[in-house]
Amino acid sequence: MKYVDEFRDPAKARALIGEINVQVARIETCKSRPLAIMEVCGGHTHAIFKYGIEQMLPDAVELVHGPGCPVCVLPMGRVDDCVALAETPGVIFTTFGDAMRVPGSKKSLMQAKADGADIRMVYSPLDALAIARSNPDKEVIFFGLGFETTMPSTALTILQAEAEGIRNFSLFCNHITIIPTMEAICSSPDLKLDGFLGPGHVSMVIGEAPYRFIAERYKRPLVISGFEPLDVLHSIAMVLKQIAEGRAEIENQYSRIVPKNGNEQAQAAISRVFELREFFEWRGLGSIDHSGVRIRDAYAHYDAERKFAVPALKIADPAACQCGDVLKGLLKPQDCKVFGRACTPETPLGALMVSSEGACAAYYQYGDLDREPVGEDA
Amino acid sequence: MCLGIPGQIVEIRDTVRQLGLVDVAGVRREVNLACVVGDDHRIADCIGDWVLVHVGFAMSRIDEEEARATLKILEDIGEVQESLAAMRAGDEAMQTNGTGGAS
Amino acid sequence: MSEALDKRTSPAPRPRGKLNVPKVTLAHGGGGKAMRDLVDDVFVRAFDNPLLATLEDQARFRLADLSAQGDRLAMTTDSYVVDPLFFPGGDIGKLAVCGTVNDLAVGGAVPLYLSCSVIIEEGIEVETLRRIARSMAEAAAEANVMIVTGDTKVVHHGQCDKIFINTSGVGVIREGIDLGAGNARPGDIVLVNGVLGDHGATILKSRGDLALDAAIESDCAPLGDLISTLLAAAPGTRFIRDATRGGVASVLNEIAIASDAGIEIDETATPIREEVKGVCEILGLDPMYLANEGKIVCIVPEDQSANALAALRAHPYGREACAIGRVTGQRRGRVVMNTVLGGKRIVDMLVGEQLPRIC
């Protein structure tokens, strides 16, 4: 597959491991403690586990799995809201696949579907709009979640609905923004991170500039990374090179897809349809200012929160749940008291075990191999 | 939210709704082209473009130059590593052959 | 086909019923003339064999004929509820025959006889049933089995999804064949008979709601003959299983646990069609967990693996057969994949259903 296979070449992977080792040798700090690099984005977490990248790295480099998994950070109260919407008579509730298994306080969307709610999995919000077109007597709600990567698609779908005068369609908006999250991570006193892998597809929309504060104020390097394994290894090497050279800059490893200034049309659609919420709740992380968006008044008729009644309750995680600490990178999945015991993919307590890029699910599914150093001719 | 895959636009389906047909390894799907269409790049110009597809939308045109440049960087790293490995092998050979001294 | 038919002369068979209505109603399940018409004109007519033609409540087989073919009877059952009913490469009928035939064949049995029970939703078109029955007959003919008994029920609208089919099957295992999931030993080779994931990917794209278009077809096929060929060439074969729901990954996990062995597979060796890769990349799925309906995983001793491969490749259903890995003594009970990148990762049991990812 073009633009994919070339970035999975094992020979180049070995060369990149060599380069990583070269950079590690130049960094004084590595002699006393491992360096901690956070990959923010769930897609990177998935790639790291899927290709066994962590075991290929030298012990001096540790990857910390960040909270960039929109399914993982969905608060239980919002899941309950989804279930309430889905169980409203006359509603067809449409959602991305991986959101269906997240447990609410009573049930997940998957369980609500088994109980008879009309819940349909879609690949694209446009497919949800198509369902609205062909079911004029029903109300179709689309469960919109995701960072800035997915905001344009939801925004453009609403604009399309407006253009066609479709009125039986609305969005339950759970989009979150990456920058306040990263700000919260950087300013957290518990976290000692040396660098970041920046979310490649979020950056495709927002560009490089929004991350500058990380380099300027917090003096940490951030490399915007693609998702193929060579991209991830290359970006790790670039972060290490910056550290070795005493630099803290925003670099773009994913330049074949990420334009410096992001995507103008996408940004325009987002600002037309959405505005920042004052604060938004993140599962495990609590409330973060300006970290969510809602639909502007001009498009209120597409806002499921205004069209329908939702319980809108704040539900605390189960007491045993340590998702918050894992999301912040303070705890590794296998160190959580309930990992693999009460909390498994079959009986998930928290969202990190449910979503396939949650660090816990990824670790449970792919991980626990003994770390084997990869030589030049592995 | 990250799952995106490169694909090639092979057909324009609807100029008003800005929909095109993208081909990913022989699998085809209709995608929205609003993010890759502009004043300098009309919808008809999109045919043949390689784009990043995410949830039914073409989100970015793949810059073939940049792709090549990135691969070139990786190749260069590969060459450097090969030279380093060769040097190391050479050093080791010298040690074992007892031609010691300052190496 | 063995002469298992009871040779006592039976009275001349009663006249066959005829079905002249376009749709099935509850009356067709009522046990009366309408049901007779349906059974005769749709199923008996399509399956058409002497055992079925007696129209007794049961099919009867001479034990002596069965024990001439082997020393054990194998029996299996499966229900088929696939949606959509028809898809590129097959339909629910073909699946219902091949699936059960294969469940017998992978145990080393020669599949002989099938039963066919259907639960039909009222309102289904008779023509749909005829298509399905014809397809079952064709598959049975290719698999060299007879459908010898059956049952028909009709339920209210909404009580089942169009049609559910159950097939049970019996076959005979020849003396000396002893395949088992617990037989794998370190050093054994893991073989598959061709590309993986075609059926699962076809069903996904045929459901329509994902709006994907690709030239892929289900690999649904009866594998009795392929497996006989394999066993003749590699009589030391340890175990064979068809990789249906849960895909190859699930079968490998079952073997690793049953044999208390480790299994190592090489990602570069797993054969997957480009289009199936494309579907998986778009949806964020792993092809190792996609269903197959014409693919088997075989564990063969190393010294017989070359013969096994040659035999598979010489057969129409095994042209792209290849080795994908080996059984080891490390990480017992687990399946590990050597990734294309050179790293390693666990290939775990599937939990729940594989859902398309957005991230």
* Cα separation values, A157 from A377, B11, B53, Å: 49, 21, 15
Q: What is the pLDDT of residue A33?
A: 92
- The answer to whether the CB atoms of A149 and B75 lie below 8 A apart is no
Question: Where are the domains positioned within chain C?
Answer: 26-173, 181-346
* ipTM associated with this complex: 0.91
Interface of C with B (CB under 8 A): 205, 211-215, 274-275, 277-279, 281-282, 284, 357-359
d(CA A156, CA A126): 9
Q: What is the pLDDT of residue C174?
A: 93
Statement: residue A72 has pLDDT above 90 = no
Q: Which two tokens stand for residue A155?
A: 């925004």
- The answer to whether the CB atoms of B24 and C281 lie below 8 A apart is yes
- The answer to whether the CB atoms of B5 and C281 lie below 8 A apart is yes
- The residue among B59 and C284 whose pLDDT is bigger is B59
Question: Is B10 in a helix, a strand, or coil?
Answer: strand
Nearest CA in chain B to A199: B2
- CB A76 within 8 Å of CB A314: no
Q: Stretch A249-274: mean pLDDT, rounded?
A: 97
- The residue among B4 and A349 whose pLDDT is bigger is B4
pLDDT band at A374 (very low <50, low <70, confident <90, very high): very low
DSSP string covering C251-276: HHHHHHHHHT-EEEEEGGGS---HHH
CA distance A335 to chain C (A): 19
- The answer to whether the CB atoms of B26 and C215 lie below 8 A apart is yes
Statement: residue B102 has pLDDT above 60 = no
> Residue C332's closest CA among C180, C189, C185, C188?
C185
d(CA C254, CA A110): 26
Find the CB nearest A256 among B3, B30, B67: B67
Within an 8 Å CB–CB cutoff, is residue A131 touching chain B?
A: no
Question: Where are the domains positioned within chain B?
Answer: 5-62, 63-96
> Residue C107's closest CA among C74, C78, C146?
C74
Find the CB nearest A366 among C340, C346, C355: C346
User: Among A115-124, A287-296, C7-16, C263-272, which stretch is predicted with the lowest mean pLDDT?
Assistant: C7-16
Q: What is the pLDDT of residue A354?
A: 74
Taking residue C145's Cβ as centre, other Cβ atoms within 10 Å add up to 26
Question: Is B101 in a helix, a strand, or coil?
Answer: coil
Q: Which residues contact C236 (CB under 8 A, 6 or more apart)?
A: C300, C301, C304
d(CA A254, CA A261): 13
> Residue C188's closest CA among C307, C78, C326, C96?
C326
> Residue A127's closest CA among A112, A143, A111, A116?
A143
d(CA A208, CA A198): 9
d(CA A83, CA C34): 45
Nearest-5° Cα angle at A199, A260 to A232: 100
CATH class of B5-62: mainly beta
Q: What is the pLDDT of residue A377?
A: 32
d(CA C114, CA C117): 10
d(CA C79, CA B79): 58
Contact residues, chain C, for B27 at CB < 8 Å: 205, 212-214, 275, 278-279, 282
Within an 8 Å CB–CB cutoff, is residue C207 touching chain A?
A: no
- CB C271 within 8 Å of CB C248: no
Q: Stretch A61-88: mean pLDDT, rounded?
A: 91
- The answer to whether the CB atoms of C209 and A56 lie below 8 A apart is no
Within an 8 Å CB–CB cutoff, is residue B74 touching chain C?
A: no
Beta strands C239-242; C296-300: pairing state? antiparallel
Nearest CA in chain B to A127: B56
List all chains that touch chain B, counting a touch as 3 or more CB pairs closer than 8 Å: A, C
Any idea which fold C181-346 has?
A: Phosphoribosyl-aminoimidazole Synthetase; Chain A, domain 2 (3.90.650)
d(CA C292, CA A188): 49
Burial class of residue B40 (count of CB atoms within 10 Å of its CB; 0-12, 13-18, 19+): exposed
- Cite the beta strand spans of chain C per DSSP E: 72-80, 86-87, 90-91, 109-121, 146-155, 163-173, 189-192, 212-213, 239-242, 262-266, 296-300, 322-328, 335-338, 344-346
- CB A223 within 8 Å of CB A239: yes
CA distance B92 to chain C (A): 25
d(CA A34, CA A58): 9
pLDDT tens for each residue of C215-239: 999 999 999 999 999 999 999 999 9
Q: Which two tokens stand for residue A159?
A: 């604009």
Answer whether the bond into residue C84 is a cis peptide, omega within 30°: yes
d(CA A211, CA A224): 10
Q: What is the pLDDT of residue A148?
A: 95
Nearest CA in chain C to B1: C359
Long-range contacts at C49-56 (CB < 8 A, ≥ 24 apart): C49/C146, C49/C147, C49/C148, C50/C5, C51/C4, C51/C5, C51/C113, C51/C146, C51/C148, C51/C149, C52/C146, C52/C147, C52/C148, C52/C149, C52/C150, C53/C13, C54/C6, C54/C10, C54/C13, C55/C13, C55/C14
Nearest CA in chain B to A262: B60
What are the pLDDT tens digits along chain C (359 aa)?
A: 344 444 444 555 567 888 899 999 999 988 889 999 999 999 999 998 888 888 788 899 999 999 999 999 999 999 999 989 999 999 999 999 999 999 999 999 999 999 999 999 999 999 999 999 999 999 999 999 999 999 999 999 999 999 999 999 999 999 999 999 999 999 999 999 999 999 999 999 998 778 899 999 999 999 999 999 999 999 999 999 999 999 999 999 999 999 999 999 999 999 999 999 999 999 889 999 999 999 999 999 999 999 999 999 999 999 999 999 999 999 999 999 999 998 888 998 887 677 766 65
Q: What letter represents residue A345's amino acid? A: P
Q: What is the pTM of this model?
A: 0.90
> Residue C279's closest CA among A246, A228, B28, B43?
B28
Q: What is the pLDDT of residue B101?
A: 47
CA distance C192 to chain A (A): 22
- CB C15 within 8 Å of CB C140: no
Q: What is the pLDDT of residue A349?
A: 82
d(CA C278, CA C274): 6
Q: Which two tokens stand for residue C197?
A: 């994931």
Q: What is the pLDDT of residue A378?
A: 31
**Inter-chain Cβ pairs, chain B and chain C, closer than 8 A:** 42
Nearest CA in chain C to A9: C341
Q: What is the pLDDT of residue A27?
A: 95
Within an 8 Å CB–CB cutoff, is residue A150 touching chain C?
A: yes
Q: Stretch A311-340: mean pLDDT, rounded?
A: 84
d(CA A154, CA C324): 42
Taking residue A122's Cβ as centre, other Cβ atoms within 10 Å add up to 24
d(CA B41, CA B33): 11
The DSSP code for C23 is B
Which residue ranges form the domains of chain A, and what is each CATH number?
76-178+261-307 (3.40.50.11740)
- CB A337 within 8 Å of CB A320: yes
Q: Between 3.30.1330.10, 1.10.287.3510, 3.40.50.920, 3.10.450.50, what CATH number should domain C26-173 receive?
A: 3.30.1330.10
Q: Do domains C26-173 and C181-346 have the same CATH topology?
A: no
- The answer to whether the CB atoms of C281 and B30 lie below 8 A apart is no
Q: How far is CA C228 from the centre of its chain?
A: 16
pLDDT band at A135 (very low <50, low <70, confident <90, very high): very high
Statement: residue A285 has pLDDT above 90 = no
pLDDT band at A371 (very low <50, low <70, confident <90, very high): very low
Instruction: Report residue A205: phi and psi, to 5°.
Output: -90, -50
d(CA B22, CA B51): 9
What is the SS3 assignment for chain A? CCCCHHHHCHHHHHHHHHHHHHHHHHCHHHHCCCEEEEEEEHHHHHHHHHCCHHHHCCCCEEEEEEEECCCCCCCHHHHHHHHHHHCCCCEEEEECHHHHHCCCCCCCHHHHHHCCCCEEECCCHHHHHHHHHHCCCCEEEEEEEECCCCHHHHHHHHHHHHHHCCCCEEEEEEEECHHHHHHHHHHCCCCCCCEEEEEHHHHHHHCCHHHHHHHHCCCCCEEEECCCHHHHHHHHHHHHHHHHCCCCCEEECCCCCCCCCCCHHHHHHHHHHEEECCEEEECCCEEEECCEEEECHHHHHHEHHHHCCCCCCCCCCCCCCCHHHHHCCCCCHHHCCCECCCECCCCCCCHHHHCCCCHHHHHHHHCCCCCCCCCCCC
Q: What is the pLDDT of residue C42?
A: 94
Q: What is the pLDDT of residue A368?
A: 64
Q: What is the pLDDT of residue C49?
A: 87
Q: What is the pLDDT of residue C353?
A: 72
